[in-house]
């Protein structure tokens, strides 16, 4: 997710919920008993993620998913990330005049992503859900390494639809397991020769479609309920606060320098998530 400023080189069952205990057993819609430390963690994670987005124009879902995954499973983190992600992506979708052309060029990517998410729907809550944190950590490392190396390639216009469909399915499968939608979709969208402003709007369109598809997965799994409304509201407020602060200080920072250190931090976070998850699985 980006803004129209400088564009970075690499632009991102029931038992499980009971064990996490985001909200104690209570009537639907009643969240008064939520743990204050958990709310503070959510607020801090989204405040930083929003700040990153405000400074460099992307990273809100990726950063927030990575930070929240330190203390909870990706499925529960994604249930909190969904609302802020949908709102910011819808706003980004309609900022620009390129919507018709974007839909014409990227519909195979978006359809493929929805299919991939549907095919891998059980990954967040099934028997392999505990491996989701490992995959998330590895993806954060890949995401950061590609960004640091400014990797880029070109796809011919005549090939972008069939390649986009394949990339979409791959992105959907990965996204259904981790909640992260930047691999391999972002390198592909950067490779098809869109203008900067068109690419910014295209990211909003793509992320909106992918995030709504993920929301259906979470609802079907019983994870996106009234119990997530309060943490989602906290995340929303913190996200926009962080974005406004990041935009305010952008002119005083060197965005490229900040982006470099941010990506290095993502590598360290990814290694920690993957390593700790492997250690916990081996102990189990």
| CB burial of residue 243 (10 Å; 0-12, 13-18, 19+) | buried
C-alpha 168: how far from its chain's center?
A: 15
Q: What is the pLDDT of residues 229-245, one digit of tens each?
A: 888 889 989 988 988 88
Please give the structure tokens belonging to residue 155.
């796809």
**Nearest CA-CA partner of 115 in 160, 183, 168, 186:** 168
Radius of gyration of the chain (CA): 18
> Structure pTM?
0.72
Highest mean pLDDT among 82-91, 181-190, 246-255: 181-190
Which 8-state DSSP code applies to residue 268?
H
Q: Give the span between the Cα atoms of 61 and 255, in whole angstroms.
A: 19
Give the angle 119-123-124 at the CA atoms, nearest 5°.
125
The pLDDT of residue 33: 44
The pLDDT of residue 103: 94
Q: Give the span between the Cα atoms of 81 and 61, in whole angstroms.
A: 6
> With 50 as the cut, is the pLDDT of residue 31 above it?
no
- Could you report how far apart the first and last alpha carbons of the chain are, in Å? 37
Q: What is the pLDDT of residues 254-275, one digit of tens each?
A: 767 777 887 888 888 889 888 8
> With 60 as the cut, is the pLDDT of residue 8 above it?
no
Please give the structure tokens belonging to residue 151.
């990797």
Compute the mean pLDDT over every residue in the chain, rounded to the nearest whole number.
Answer: 79
């Amino acid at each position: 997710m980006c803004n129209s400023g400088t564009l970075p080189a690499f632009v991102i069952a029931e038992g499980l919920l009971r064990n996490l205990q985001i909200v104690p057993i209570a009537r639907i819609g009643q969240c008064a008993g939520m743990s204050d430390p958990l709310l503070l963690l959510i607020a801090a994670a989204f405040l930083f993620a929003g700040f990153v987005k405000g400074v460099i124009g992307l990273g809100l879902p990726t950063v927030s998913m990575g930070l929240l995954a330190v203390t909870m499973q990706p499925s529960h983190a994604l249930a909190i990330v969904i609302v802020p992600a949908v709102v910011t992506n819808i706003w980004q979708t309609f900022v620009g005049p390129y919507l018709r052309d974007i839909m014409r060029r990227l519909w195979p990517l978006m359809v493929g992503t929805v299919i991939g998410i549907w095919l891998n729907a059980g990954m967040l809550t099934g028997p392999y859900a505990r491996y989701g944190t490992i995959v998330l950590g590895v993806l954060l490392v890949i995401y950061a390494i590609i960004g640091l190396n400014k990797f880029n390639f070109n796809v011919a216009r005549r090939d972008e639809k069939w390649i986009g469909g394949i990339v979409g399915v791959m992105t959907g499968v990965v996204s259904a397991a981790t909640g992260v939608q930047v691999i391999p979709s972002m390198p592909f969208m950067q490779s098809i020769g869109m203008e900067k402003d068109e690419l910014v709007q295209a990211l909003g369109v793509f992320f909106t479609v992918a995030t709504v598809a993920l929301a259906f997965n979470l609802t079907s799994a019983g994870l996106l309920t009234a119990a997530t409304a309060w943490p989602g509201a906290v995340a929303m407020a913190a996200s926009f606060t962080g974005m406004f602060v990041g935009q305010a200080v952008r002119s005083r920072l060197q965005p490229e320098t900040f982006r470099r250190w941010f990506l290095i931090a993502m590598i360290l976070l990814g290694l920690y998530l993957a390593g700790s998850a492997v250690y916990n699985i081996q102990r189990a």
